[in-house]
Structure 1
Amino acid sequence: MTVQLNHTIVSAHDKHASARFLADLLGLDVSPEYGPFVPVEIPNGVSLDYADADGDITPQHYAFLVTEDEFDTVFARIQRAGLTYWADPHHTHEGEINRNDGGRGVYFDDPNGHVLEILTRPYGSGG
């Protein structure tokens, strides 16, 4: 059996602004609105479908595996946007990147408090 993640729903206070935030940082397009969702398709075919939510949003974590060159590009966008970033998901090493498994990684928050991560090596891959 082949099982693949197709999409996940991301709660947002403003689905359009949140989808644009992610797409701009990662250099992706925002897809046309589909029902109550504003999708951002990741190149591996998975989409993050943003949906408006009332009240509090429980923060989730979304990690994006990128190449070394893509890391440089996205990280530059994070810095240009003036976003606070951390080397760890617990936000204890502010202004740093990590070098886990011989790669690089950095965490930052989206406007809804979701923790986003870019990394160049999957965790546990060695290096």
Structure 2
Amino acid sequence: MSVQLNHTIIHSRDNRESATFLAHILGLEVGTEWGPFIPVETSNGVTLDFATVPAGSITVQHYAFLLSEEEFDVAFAKIRAARVPYFADPHGRHPGEINHNDGGRGVYFTDPNGHGMEIITRPYGYQEPGAE
């Protein structure tokens, strides 16, 4: 078997709110709560397990999601409709903009806990087939 990421735990103040927020933006389903976790599974089988922890114990993390052009359009429309601040860069220097890195589109936003979320349509370092 090749090595694959199976799941990761995302700390939150309210696991239901956080799971619902991200699932809504990405067009995913919120899974059934089990133990302290509310899972959201991505299309490649990686599960994001949201866990409620005390607010002071949350270490802000970064999560990037690769989407198709169509999925990006839908997710970006949801970000804008929800009036979630977004940026073209991870440092927030370009508010209200998207980027076009690696020939695609990308945008950064934060979830209700301050985690940095990113949606992109091309992986970092992507080159069109045949381009040199």
TM-score interval (norm. to shorter): over 0.9
Is 1:69 aligned to residue 70 of structure 2? Answer: yes
CA displacement 1:56-109 (0-9 Å, x = unmatched): 211100000000011000000000000100001111110000000000000000
Instruction: Check the 8 A contact 2:104/2:122 in 1, yes or no.
Output: yes
Matching residue's letter, 2:125: G
Q: What letter matches 1:4 in structure 2? A: Q
Match of 1:41 in 2: 41
Partner of 1:28: 28
Say which one has the larger Rg.
2
Letter in 1 for 2:50: Y
Distance 1:106 1:28 in 2: 18
Q: TM-score, normalised by structure 1?
A: 0.97
Q: Deviation per CA, 1:7-57, whole angstroms, max 9, x where unpaired? A: 000000000010000001111110001111000000100010000111321
Give 1:98's aligned residue: 99
The alignment's TM-score, normalised by the length of structure 2, stands at 0.94
For 1:5 and 1:79, how far apart are their aligned partners in 2?
A: 30
Structure 1 partner of 2:54: 54
Distance 1:22 1:55 in 2: 19
Separation in 2 of the partners of 1:126 and 1:86? 23
The one-letter code sitting in structure 2 at the alignment partner of 1:15 is N
Tell me how far apart the structure 2 counterparts of residues 55 and 74 of structure 1 sit (CA, whole Å): 27
Percent same amino acid at aligned positions?
A: 61
Count of aligned residue pairs for this structure pair: 127
- The answer for unaligned runs of 5 or more in structure 2 is none
CA distance in structure 2 between the partners assigned to 1:76 and 1:55 by the alignment: 29
